Structure 1
Amino acid sequence: MHGFTFSRGNMLLFHPKGARSFMKNKDAKKPNYSMWSDISFLLGKAWELIPWYYPLMVVIVVSRALIPAIAMVLPSRVIALLQEGVSFERLVLEIGLMSLGILLCAAISEGLRNYVDFRYLITPRRHLGGDADLKIATTDYPHGEQQDFQNAMTRRLQAMNSNDSALEETFRMVQRLLSNLIGLGVYGALLWTLSPWVMLLVAALTALGFIARLKANTWVFKSRDKWAPIDRKMNYIEEESGNYKFAKDVRLFGMSGWLCELYDSCSNARRAWGIKQGWVEFAADAASCLITFLREGAAYIWLIYGAVTGSIDPAAFVLYFGAVGNFSQELLGCLKEFSDLHEAHLKIASFRELLDWPDQFRHEGGRPIPRDGGWTLTLDHVSYRYPGADKDTIHDMCLTLRSGEKAALVGLNGAGKSTMVKLLCGLYDPTEGRVLLNGIPVTEFNREEYYALFSAVFQESAVRPYPLAKNVAMTDNMDRKKVEKCLELAGLSERVSELPKGMDTKLMKYIWHDGVDLSGGEAQKLMLARALYKDGPIVILDEPTAALDPIAESELYEKYSDLTAGKTSLYISHRLSSTRFCDRVLFLEHGVIAEEGTHEELLEKRGKYYELYEVQSSYYRSGSTDEEGELINEAEMEPV
């Protein structure tokens, strides 16, 4: 499992006190976009992708607004007809026509709404979800290690993970709001003829209700970053606890109880925030209910007074009575839709923040990559310090990897080897200094084009739930013969021949019912086959053979050395014997190159490299002795 190790030391990360401390220290911020900007953004996306949605929306809005209007007029019209003494047939006819109108409007609005939901509204959400996934896949690599960006990735799911999510539900809210506004205008005009004061009173109280709900939604938005890390940790524990790869560790180390305790700690912290949110929303709802009581009570008192004094006849009383009820409903509808739109806007704003997350790397334009057949990499006084660290991981490093050179990078854990590789590959930009390609700063190139130069194999085996052949080529448009050749060179052809569907066998049993899981060593060989298939001019091997035995590793490196002849290559390994075939060995210590030379030259110097080599080689020499002839106790040796 990458990014997290189940150890007691990690428990602090999930402790509720730690979560509360984070809650207090994290500054809340306002959204970068207004509600109207977010609504315009979505409507513009709909106009771009599904222009036919708009005429259908007009029909839905109008038909929905007509239903309560006709229902309001119907009883008043019946009383008026009875007062006029019309015939029974005419009375039945008008009642029937108006009832039929209600049924037709209901059928049109609901039927068309369901059609639009399934036929159109999913399209913008799917496209925007694809844009978010593309942003995550192509954004600057360091962003993925930042807490704020991780929170933004978590929040994006709240805006797009279902048909009821903000990216889709906003369209329905707009439909309902437009219908409410039409009704509000019609019933408001009718009540205006009754009394302008009633209208002003209702408008003032409605504004107060809206402000109460707005305050609650704003509090939720400002607090979202405080519980997003807790949600992410809970999801992580849920996913990884059920990960088949961890089944052995969970059982042998008795982790089940500890994992439950860990999850409960996060759950309690999240529940504390849920209780706070519940009280805030309860207060807003209580205020809205009180305001609604005052609003409708004032209107009904005015109406009853008119009926008692005789200024309103029975038919008009029924009409106004229905208008007050409908006006109140439309006001409540507008209030609710505005409130829901505001809440959805906060989620959409977070989603757009992810889409617009600023990148520092050059992802468009840039100088063309040199194509002269030679690629020399240079670290020019490069230093790199991780955010929040108090010292450099790489410090003032000067290094040149000459075109066609095979160099080995060795050192203890924490020496900065992987960081140096990420700098060379363009995954990091240095804190100080420059990384150069053929004398040109890497920052001047298009970063995606620069990445294309590298065939890299990292410590982690990035096996994907694809068929094995696609895992090698990483595309459906592949050269199958080349895939077969790369698998053979990587030492996987025999294993592939044993698989039920050969190269077309799906990997990852966790995803596919007929999938296959590779062992650690097989997965690393697969990564080597992938690097061979890409055939980049610069080869980076960052401890890709840790799961192999020393003999197999040495043989594989020698084979790979022959296959990468003429390429600029950098090999990283803890096993120093694997550096024999390299032109140059770089011994890294505390972020600087402490020793440099060929394998033989460094042994002759009898420095740190020699000491580590002797410790390692002693494990493979039976009955090893020290310089005075004493047998070495292997248990006392410090492993590298």
Structure 2
Amino acid sequence: MSDETDTTTSRKDATTSGEADNRTPSTSTTNAIDHQPAARPQPWRYELRAIGIWWKLQPNWFVATVLDALCKAAAPYATIWFSAQLINELAGRRDPNVLRSWVILILATTVVLALASAACHHWKQAEDAMSEVNGKLPVADKLMDLDFPIADDQRTYDTVSSIRQNDNFTGRGLTESMLILNDALPAVFQIAGGVALSASLFTSPVPADGGWLTLLNSPWCAVLMVAVLLGDIALSSACYEYGDHFWVNFAEAGRFGNRVFSFFGALFANDKRAMDCRMYGQFERVAIPFWRANNSFDAHSPAMRGVLWPLTLWKSLSVAISTMLIGFVYAFVCLKAWGGAFGVGSVTQYVGAITTTFTGLSALLRSIGRVRNNAPFLKTVFDFLDTPNTMYQGSLTTEKRADRQYDVEFRDVSFRYPNAPAGQWALRHVNLKFKVGSRLAVVGENGSGKTTFIKLLCRLYDPTEGEILLNGIDIRKYRYDEYLRIFSVVFQDFRLLALPLGQNVACAARYDRELAADCLVKADFGDRLASMPQGLDTSLYKELDQHGVQVSGGEAQKIAIARALYRDAPFIILDEPTAALDPIAEAQIYAKFDEIAGDKTAVYISHRLSSCKFCDDIAVFDHGSIVQYGTHQQLVNEPAGKYHQLWHAQAQYYTTSN
């Protein structure tokens, strides 16, 4: 089982649809990631942009989070305030009716808040569960929307891998921005409630007979108290932020360690590696030693020691400073109560309110620090999301011809992969014209340029030199999405999804069931389909359905061919999808496919010459160039030709005739 996705995406036209476009298309395929302007991280701009992304992805999460935060903040303050009133009554008049009223009110409020809190919390948990998947969509969508040359570049892979590792290891990036808001909202409500309940602490005067404690009535005393509170909170939060910053420094080592763990940790459970692991003892003899030597999460590893000791020191200091503040609050409140400013019940209210306010302020300041520490990770994400596409997007529509009369011509086409060394050409001066409705075989040794030829034909890449014409017009002038739709390709490394068979064939959740079944029958999968327990609704593989069925390599190839037929494109291409089979089995599949291709133009790519004898023409590739072109009989009868050499080199291993 593997995880194929459809790379066909809708693009915006360079010009108005249907308008003639005579501009010369650019052949640039430079990876635009390299041209991102160097800029320092801008924490708040990044955080707001990340929140905007989350709002588009999951607006209900914000509603659930706000309500959950309100309930979390309201419950303790309700308890503090009601408890203070009850204690004041017990310490004062002790009126049974008043006490009974307070008790009933406390119980009713507690029940209502508990129910509301539980409901909001469960709603938020459901939204949190969805965010794990939703958070991966922006990067995934961008990756699928990127021009293929950029998406196929190693630097893009490294960038995406870095983003995923950051998210998997510490949640830094988009996930952290959501978590910051998740922690900041309750803190804001805590502060608001705490200020409301503790404001009277500073306005309740100590009576004149309070002696020296009347000094606490001075406005400067209140200012000093607030200054100490804020200073203590700022210092505590700064220590916490500084300690947390060591995780940022550990990110690179952590990403590698997480990558090692992800690979080797699941090695024993990988069914495709199980036999090798068992036969050669790879897990205990190779994987475990490598993991131990590269375990950056080990407390004794140099990387982790560089984090744990300073992190523990600074965060412990943060806690110590916080504790000092609580003692200062108790002293101030108790002194005012001793002086007679308020009753003993209010002591509970003020101490609880100020302590909770302090907790909220600390959490808010820590969230601010996390915004700053998360900025470098968000910058990596946004640099990737802002990567511009560079391939020219045409505006002409491809003709929807009932007769499928499409002519394709390669005119002096040369191609060098981006970042390839100078002079290293994948294709060089290729000239080729398809005969409509014909069968073309593209053969050659591995690395001769066959697959590159298909990538250019499908416009996954643009030529470095020369041009490719569709009905006499440069293919770069056609709408990209429409041009892709005239091709059905079965790639060498095709993939099927662990989803129902019919959806694999149609590449859609809703599809024409009769057409899907007919395509499977044409692909010689009819008998297997009839034996499946749920027909087209039978799941492939067992990753998502314990009743899913395993299909063999040959059966998977037939499903892939049925998928190509379902698309019903005028061009069908088989790019060595049967490379794992023996030549006789490959030839049988190709011959069968030739029968069902009908009036479509078919291109067969193989390094086995015997599989393509039936084709009308054969193009022989060697070191990126077409060195021979003709029918099988013509080419095999040229003793000095490459085809003759390959044919006889392969034929000696099989009993066959030419």
Q: TM-score range by the shorter chain?
A: 0.7 to 0.9
Q: Does 1:607 align with 2:614?
A: no
Deviations 1:556-604 (A, max 9, x none): 3334334435433322111112333334333323333333343333331
| Corresponding position of 1:38 | 50
Report the CA distance between 1:285 and its aligned residue: 1.1
**Partner SS, residue 455 of structure 2:** helix
- CA distance in 2: counterparts of 1:336 and 1:393, whole angstroms: 54
**Partner SS, residue 593 of structure 1:** strand
Q: Structure 1 residues 250 and 476 mapped into 2: Cα distance closer, same or farther (>3 Å)?
A: same
Deviations 1:61-118 (A, max 9, x none): 55544444454455665676577x5253266246526634762564255234225325
Contact 1:380/1:436 (CA < 8 Å) preserved in 2? no
Moved more, 459-468 or 130-139: 130-139
**Partner SS, residue 587 of structure 1:** strand
| Corresponding position of 1:401 | 433
> Quick one: which of 201, 213, 220 aligns to 2:240?
213
- CA distance in 1: counterparts of 2:317 and 2:411, whole angstroms: 64
Q: Structure 1 residues 418 and 334 mapped into 2: Cα distance closer, same or farther (>3 Å)?
A: same
- CA distance in 2: counterparts of 1:524 and 1:530, whole angstroms: 10
| Corresponding position of 1:20 | none
- Give matches, 1:15-26, under 5 Å: none
> Quick one: which of 315, 319, 327 aligns to 1:289?
319
| Corresponding position of 2:406 | 374
**Partner SS, residue 244 of structure 1:** coil
Q: Structure 1 residues 420 and 111 mapped into 2: Cα distance closer, same or farther (>3 Å)?
A: same
The residue type paired with residue 257 of structure 1 is E
- Give matches, 1:524-603, under 5 Å: 524-603=557-636
| Corresponding position of 2:222 | 195
| Corresponding position of 1:517 | 550
Contact 1:31/1:350 (CA < 8 Å) preserved in 2? no
- CA distance in 2: counterparts of 1:262 and 1:456, whole angstroms: 43
> Quick one: which of 425, 430, 454 aligns to 1:421?
454
- CA distance in 1: counterparts of 2:170 and 2:68, whole angstroms: 24
Contact 2:490/2:560 (CA < 8 Å) preserved in 1? yes
Q: Structure 1 residues 275 and 596 mapped into 2: Cα distance closer, same or farther (>3 Å)?
A: farther
- CA distance in 2: counterparts of 1:201 and 1:388, whole angstroms: 63
Report the CA distance between 1:176 and its aligned residue: 0.9
Report the CA distance between 1:182 and its aligned residue: 0.6
Q: Does 1:384 align with 2:416?
A: yes
Q: Structure 1 residues 159 and 375 mapped into 2: Cα distance closer, same or farther (>3 Å)?
A: farther
Q: Structure 1 residues 114 and 401 mapped into 2: Cα distance closer, same or farther (>3 Å)?
A: same
Contact 2:41/2:379 (CA < 8 Å) preserved in 1? no
**Partner SS, residue 245 of structure 1:** coil
Contact 2:499/2:540 (CA < 8 Å) preserved in 1? yes
- CA distance in 2: counterparts of 1:79 and 1:478, whole angstroms: 70
**Partner SS, residue 536 of structure 1:** coil
Q: Give the root-mean-square deviation of aligned CA atoms.
A: 4.3
**Partner SS, residue 258 of structure 2:** helix
- Give matches, 1:66-215, under 5 Å: 66-73=74-81, 77=85, 86-89=93-96, 92-93=99-100, 95-96=102-103, 99-100=106-107, 103-104=110-111, 106-107=113-114, 109-117=116-124, 133-142=140-149, 143=151, 145=154, 146-155=157-166, 169=179, 172-186=182-196, 189-190=199-200, 193=203, 195-215=222-242
Report the CA distance between 1:505 and its aligned residue: 3.8
Deviations 1:35-57 (A, max 9, x none): 2333354356555x57xx74x76
Deviations 1:602-625 (A, max 9, x none): 331513332222111122259xxx
**Partner SS, residue 162 of structure 2:** helix
Contact 2:264/2:287 (CA < 8 Å) preserved in 1? no
- CA distance in 1: counterparts of 2:414 and 2:293, whole angstroms: 40
The residue type paired with residue 402 of structure 1 is F
| Corresponding position of 2:258 | 231
| Corresponding position of 2:508 | 475
Report the CA distance between 1:418 and its aligned residue: 2.0
Q: Does 1:246 align with 2:273?
A: yes
Deviations 1:449-492 (A, max 9, x none): 33222111111242322333433333344444444443343333
Deviations 1:470-523 (A, max 9, x none): 333333444444444433433333444444455554322455433332222232
Report the CA distance between 1:536 and its aligned residue: 1.4
Report the CA distance between 1:196 and its aligned residue: 0.5
Q: Structure 1 residues 531 and 330 mapped into 2: Cα distance closer, same or farther (>3 Å)?
A: closer
Aligned residues: 590
- CA distance in 1: counterparts of 2:537 and 2:351, whole angstroms: 72
| Corresponding position of 1:616 | 650
- CA distance in 1: counterparts of 2:454 and 2:328, whole angstroms: 74
- Give matches, 1:230-379, under 5 Å: 230-239=257-266, 241-261=268-288, 264-265=291-292, 268-271=295-298, 272=301, 273-279=303-309, 281-300=311-330, 302=332, 310=339, 312=341, 315=344, 320-338=350-368, 358-361=388-391, 366-372=395-401, 373-378=405-410
Report the CA distance between 1:377 and its aligned residue: 4.3
- CA distance in 1: counterparts of 2:414 and 2:623, whole angstroms: 14
Contact 1:410/1:417 (CA < 8 Å) preserved in 2? yes
- CA distance in 1: counterparts of 2:293 and 2:395, whole angstroms: 46
Deviations 1:308-353 (A, max 9, x none): 7x48566576665445434433333434555567778887776666
Tell me the TM-score normalized by structure 1: 0.77
Deviations 1:181-206 (A, max 9, x none): 31343366456555102212322332
Tell me the TM-score normalized by structure 2: 0.75
Q: Structure 1 residues 202 and 36 mapped into 2: Cα distance closer, same or farther (>3 Å)?
A: farther
Question: Which consecutive residues of structure 1, in runs of 5 or more, have no partner in the other structure?
Answer: 4-26, 623-640
Report the CA distance between 1:543 and its aligned residue: 1.1
Deviations 1:221-275 (A, max 9, x none): 5654554354345324444542333333333444333453366257614544555
The residue type paired with residue 396 of structure 2 is R
Q: Structure 1 residues 241 and 588 mapped into 2: Cα distance closer, same or farther (>3 Å)?
A: farther
Question: Which consecutive residues of structure 2, in runs of 5 or more, have no partner in the other structure?
Answer: 4-37, 204-220
Moved more, 90-99 or 417-426: 90-99
Q: Structure 1 residues 345 and 385 mapped into 2: Cα distance closer, same or farther (>3 Å)?
A: closer
- CA distance in 1: counterparts of 2:530 and 2:52, whole angstroms: 56
Contact 1:155/1:228 (CA < 8 Å) preserved in 2? yes
The residue type paired with residue 181 of structure 1 is I
Q: Structure 1 residues 286 and 541 mapped into 2: Cα distance closer, same or farther (>3 Å)?
A: same
Report the CA distance between 1:168 and its aligned residue: 6.5
- CA distance in 2: counterparts of 1:384 and 1:497, whole angstroms: 47
> Quick one: which of 469, 478, 481 aligns to 1:448?
481
Q: Structure 1 residues 338 and 29 mapped into 2: Cα distance closer, same or farther (>3 Å)?
A: closer
**Partner SS, residue 414 of structure 1:** coil
Deviations 1:268-291 (A, max 9, x none): 145445554444532441231243
**Partner SS, residue 421 of structure 1:** helix
The residue type paired with residue 220 of structure 1 is W
| Corresponding position of 1:636 | none
- CA distance in 1: counterparts of 2:444 and 2:470, whole angstroms: 25
